[in-house]
Amino acid sequence: NELSNSLAAADIAHQLHPYTNARAHEEKGPMIITRGDGIRVYDSTGKEYIEGMAGLWSVAVGFSEDRLAKAAYDQMLKLPYYHTFAHKSTEPSIRLAEKLAEMTPEHLTRCFFTNSGSEANDTIVKMVWFMNNALGRPEKKKFIARHKGYHGITVASGSLTGLGGNHRDFDLPAIPVTHLTTPHFWREGAEGETEADFTARLLKEIEDTILAEGPETIAAFIGEPVIGAGGVFVPPEGYWPGVAALCKKYDMLLIADEVINGFGRLGTPFGSQRYDFEPDIMTLSKQISSSYMPLAAIMLTDAVYDVIADNTAKLGSFGHGFTGSGHPVACAVGLENLKIIEEKDLMGNAARMEAPFQEGLRKLLDHPLVGEVRGVGLIAGIEFADKTTKVNYAPAGSVAAKAAALCTEEGLIARNVYETLALCPPLIVTEEDVAEILARLGRALDRLSDWAKDEGLIA
C-alpha cells in the first residue's frame, strides 16, 4: 500500500539502523511495525505477528497497556521533566527506587538510574573504579566476564561484552577485561566430562585467572545469570554459588547483569534467586518499564553504597550522571509497570508457563537440523547443528537466519542470534498463546527442513 511504500522509501533515505546491514536494508527495506495489541504486533501492510521476543527481550506486560500510557500522560502533565542532580529529586524516581529496593533481594537497597543497560554497565565500571580508588587500591581494576556474555555496546560495556564484533570491528580501546569460557555444557563440556566436572573446570579456570593476574588487580566478575543475546545459555549446576565463593575469597565484587533475566523472565523474580547467589551489584532494564520508556537501574548493597558515599563526601560530589537519570516520566511508567507485573502475578505466570513452553520446545529435538534446545522460564534458544558432531551449519548463522525469516512469514517474531533461534515471549502469555507460538514455530521449522534439503544441508 501507498503509506507503507512511502514510509519504506523515507526509512531507506534517512536512517542508519542498529545491528543492520545497511546495504542489504537499502535493497530489502524495513518491516514497519505500526501497532501492538497484547502479545501481538501488526506491520504496515496489516499482517499480524505474535511477538515471540517481547521486542528486544523487554515487553513483560504486552504491547497495549493503557495504564502505562496513562501513567506517562499524567506525569507529563504534572512534571514532564526534571533532573536528579545536586540534591534534586522527583516523586516518581523516589517511589521507583523504593519499589526496586522492595522487589529485589533484601541485601540490595540502593539504586542509581540510567537510560539504558549499556549506560548502567558503563556506570558500574566507573563505580567500581571509583570505589577502589577510594579504598587506596586503584590497581584493582580488571573485570572478568565470559565469552558470549552481552553487557552493552558503549566503550566500557562493549568491552565487557564477549562477542567479537565490538572489539574486532570498532577497534575499541578496550578496558581491562578477561573473557572466560561460556558456561554452556552441551558445547563446551569435554568428552566424558559430567556437568559437575564441567562446573569444577570453569571455576578452576576463573581461580587460575585470578591467581595468574594477581587478585590485587581483579576488581569484579560480571555475568548474566542466564546469558541472553549471545545465544541463551543456562549455567551448569553449582556454577553461580561457586563464582560467588571465589568473589568473596579474592575480595572481588560480583555483578549480576539482570537486564534480560530480571522481573520474572526465568520463573523467579531475579536470576540470582534461581541460581542461588547474592550479587553486590545488579543491573536492571528492559522489563523494568516493559521498554515503554528507556530506563535502567543499578542496585547496590549498603556496603558498596557506603564506600561510594564516603568518597563523595571526601571529594565533594559523585561526578557522574545523565540528563535522564531518574527521568520522572520513565520512572512513573516503570513504577506502574512493576505494579502491573505484581497485580497480575506475571512472574508467577512465567513460572507456570515454563513447563508447557519449555517442554513443547524440547519436542523440536526430533527436528533434523536442531542440535540443542535450551532455556528456563520464558526464555529459550534452539541451536541448529548436527546432532552427533555438534558442528554448526555453514555459512555461520545461515540456518538460524532462515528459521527467523520463516517464522516471520508464519506470523511469529523470533530472533536469530548467531546459530540459535531465540524466543522470549511477553510474560502475559497464556497456555493457548504458548500453543499458538509452538504451532507457528512448528510450521516454520517444517518449511526449514524443506529448504535445508533443497540446499543440500540434509538428505
Residues near ligand PMP (CB under 6 A) are 56, 116-118, 121, 150-152, 224, 228-229, 257, 259-260, 285
**Residue 12 parent element (H or E):** helix 2-14
* Residue with smaller CB distance to ligand PMP, 18 or 395: 18
* Residue with smaller CB distance to ligand PMP, 116 or 199: 116
Q: Are strands 296-301 and 281-284 parallel, antiparallel or unpaired?
A: antiparallel
- Minimum CB separation from ligand PMP for residue 212, in Å? 27
Q: Please enumerate in sequence order all residues whose Cβ is within 8 A of that of 361, keeping only pairs 6 or more positions apart, or say none.
A: 373, 375, 380, 382, 423, 438, 441
* Residue with smaller CB distance to ligand PMP, 118 or 408: 118
Q: Which three cell numbers stand for residue 175?
A: 578496558
Q: Please enumerate in sequence order all residues whose Cβ is within 8 A of that of 172, keeping only pairs 6 or more positions apart, or say none.
A: 155, 158, 159, 166
- Minimum CB separation from ligand PMP for residue 165, in Å? 14
* Residue with smaller CB distance to ligand PMP, 51 or 224: 224
> Considering only CA atoms, which of 262, 261, 269, 254 is closest in space to residue 303?
254
The CA distance from 33 to 29, in Å, is 13
Q: Are strands 48-51 and 40-43 parallel, antiparallel or unpaired?
A: antiparallel
Helix ranges (DSSP H) in 89-225: 91-103, 117-134, 155-160, 165-170, 185-188, 195-213
- Minimum CB separation from ligand PMP for residue 359, in Å? 25
- Minimum CB separation from ligand PMP for residue 57, in Å? 6
Q: How many residues comprise the chain?
A: 459
For residue 95, the tally of other CB atoms under 10 A from its CB is: 15
* Residue with smaller CB distance to ligand PMP, 260 or 428: 260
- Minimum CB separation from ligand PMP for residue 81, in Å? 20
Nearest-CB residue for ligand PMP: 117
* Residue with smaller CB distance to ligand PMP, 2 or 169: 169
